[in-house]
């Protein structure tokens, strides 16, 4: 079996070599990892779960453009959307193995690799996007990116998924009790699972790529994601209610395989990192501009839209507090406190 596999690999390599005619467009994995200044073209396969109309993909195209221009074509970027290369978790694993170079998951699935990342999924941690930017782009955010190295991952920048709202096919979520018995898809993250259980829902973790069909077939009643995703992925076709719970601000993390990153020249490392920050700014801008407009579109598509009151949110957080205490214990209370302190500091600075 092994032999057949190596023969297959060999045949593939011959094909690839033949296809690039000895040129400098060698997109093989070998060239991706040999690195150095050899003048070879290094190819990056960058995959995301969302579709090609989402601000995340548009920003990824921007990243590709900057990287290809600044490296004079020494790095080539191939982009894949709609979970073509797998879901967030599988793609992150592929990065660890060095069989894929870039992915941009939400922080929630990253908690399966670095448990401390769960802190970003504490409900109502970030009061608004500006505070999130300050904390994530500051010292604390960098500390979290550094924690990825042990997992064979390099975090280049934070991008934005955004504040998450609930949709479902049963009823408007106005108060915490409306979660009762709702079959809700969650991301693959234990804190999400436990928090929605505490609220009385019946949560199921599921890969994003399976979600639309699951809602269509009624395997789940609902899900939670930011408004741009709800609109651009066409969830309004299979969901009747959207409620602005805003329960979590989901950051994206721009991840690169450490093996690949280490094989880049220093100059290339700087280029890919700075480009991730620059394209991330575009991702945030496009995302934020889109929210109000897409909320209107969802109403126009016939969805029942309700704003959740601050009182109802406060009640929800009270119910999930024991879950949060449990996770603070698991993650380490100091780490959690450090993040909350950074949030308070950022809030104070922005209020000046
Ligand atoms: C896309 C995911 C998605 C996330 C989820 O790959 O799974 O619900 O919010 O947008 O990162």
Reading the chain (352 residues) residue by residue, the pLDDT tens digits are: 333 444 344 444 434 433 433 333 333 444 444 444 556 899 999 999 999 999 999 999 999 999 999 999 999 999 999 999 999 999 999 999 999 999 999 999 999 999 999 999 999 999 999 999 999 999 999 999 999 999 999 999 999 999 999 999 999 999 999 999 999 999 999 999 999 999 999 999 999 999 999 999 999 999 999 999 999 999 999 999 999 999 999 999 999 999 999 999 999 999 999 999 999 999 999 999 999 999 999 999 999 999 999 999 999 999 999 999 999 999 999 999 999 999 999 999 999 8
Identify the pLDDT of residue 294. 98
Question: Hey, whose CA ends up nearest to atom 6 of ligand 1?
Answer: 49
**Which residue puts its alpha carbon closest to atom 2 of ligand 1?**
49
What is the CA 227 to chain-centroid distance, rounded? Answer: 15
* Atom 1 in ligand 1: residue holding the nearest Cα: 49
Distance 217 CA to ligand 1 centre (A): 20
Ligand 1 test: best mutation among 161, 209, 248, most atoms within 8 Å of CB? Answer: 161
Q: What pLDDT was estimated at residue 40?
A: 85
CB distance 162 to 200 below 8 Å: no
**Span from the CA of 71 to the centroid of ligand 1 (angstroms):** 30
CA of 213 to the centre of ligand 1 (A): 15
Nearest in space to 135 (alpha carbons), one of 146, 126, 145, 122: 126
Helical H segments across the chain, by residue range: 2-19, 29-34, 55-70, 88-97, 107-110, 129-137, 139-146, 190-198, 211-216, 227-232, 258-262, 266-300, 310-331, 333-351
DSSP letters, 314-345, are HHHHHHHHHHHHHHHHHH-HHHHHHHHHHHHH
Decide yes or no: CATH 3.40.600.10 for domain 42-351.
Answer: no
Mutate to test the pocket of ligand 1, among 47, 49, 220 (most ligand atoms within 8 A of CB): 49
Q: How far is the CA of 177 from the centre of ligand 1 (A)?
A: 26
> Residue 166 half-sphere exposure, CB side, CA atoms within 13 Å?
30
Quick one: pLDDT at residue 296?
A: 98
Whole-model pTM: value is: 0.89
Ligand 1 center to residue 187 CA distance, Å? 7
Query: What local confidence, expressed as pLDDT, does residue 345 receive?
Result: 98
Given this model, what pLDDT does residue 320 score? 96
Expressed in angstroms and rounded, the spacing between residue 204 Cα and the centre of ligand 1 is 14
Pocket, ligand 1, Cβ cutoff 6 A: 48-50, 88, 105-106, 161, 187, 208, 225, 229, 250
Q: What is the torsion angle, in degrees rounded to the nearest 10, for the CA atoms of residue 212, residue 216, residue 218 and residue 221? A: 60
pLDDT at 18: 38
Residue 48 CA: nearest ligand 1 atom is: 6
Q: Where are the domains of the chain?
A: 42-351
CA 75 / ligand 1 centre spacing (Å): 27
Burial group, residue 80, by CB count within 10 angstroms (0-12, 13-18, 19+): buried
Between CA 221 and CA 181 the distance in angstroms is 10
Please give the pLDDT value at position 38.
55
């Amino acid at each position: 079996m092994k032999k057949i596999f190596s023969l297959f690999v060999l045949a593939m390599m011959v094909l690839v070599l033949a296809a690039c005619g000895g040129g400098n467009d060698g997109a093989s994995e070998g060239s991706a990892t040999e690195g150095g200044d050899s003048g070879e073209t290094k190819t990056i396969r960058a995959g995301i779960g969302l579709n090609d109309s989402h601000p995340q993909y548009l920003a990824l195209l921007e990243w590709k453009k900057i990287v290809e221009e600044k490296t004079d074509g020494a790095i080539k970027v191939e982009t894949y959307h709609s979970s073509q290369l797998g879901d967030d978790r599988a793609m992150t694993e592929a990065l660890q193995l060095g069989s894929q170079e870039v992915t941009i998951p939400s922080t929630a699935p990253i908690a399966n690799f670095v448990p401390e990342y769960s802190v970003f999924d504490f409900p109502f941690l970030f009061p608004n996007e500006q505070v999130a930017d300050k904390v994530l782009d500051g010292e604390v955010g960098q500390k979290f990116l550094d924690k990825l190295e042990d997992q064979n991952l390099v975090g280049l920048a934070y991008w934005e998924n955004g504040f998450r709202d609930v949709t479902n096919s049963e009823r408007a979520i106005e108060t915490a009790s409306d979660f009762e018995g709702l079959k809700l898809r969650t991301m693959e993250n234990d804190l999400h699972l436990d928090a929605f259980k505490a609220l009385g829902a019946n949560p199921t973790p599921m890969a994003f790529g399976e979600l639309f069909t699951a809602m269509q077939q009624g395997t789940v009643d609902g899900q939670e994601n930011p408004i741009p995703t709800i609109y651009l992925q066409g969830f309004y076709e299979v969901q009747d209610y959207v409620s602005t719970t805003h329960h979590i601000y989901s950051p994206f993390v721009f991840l690169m395989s450490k093996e690949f990153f280490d094989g880049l020249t220093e100059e290339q490392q700087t280029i890919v990192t700075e480009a991730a920050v620059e394209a991330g700014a575009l991702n945030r801008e496009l995302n934020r501009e889109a929210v109000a407009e897409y909320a209107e579109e969802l109403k126009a598509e016939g969805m029942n839209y309700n704003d959740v009151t601050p009182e109802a949110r406060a009640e929800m957080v009270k119910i999930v507090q024991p879950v949060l205490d449990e996770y603070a214990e698991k993650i380490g209370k100091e780490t959690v406190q450090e993040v909350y302190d950074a949030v308070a500091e950022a809030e104070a600075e922005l209020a000046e």
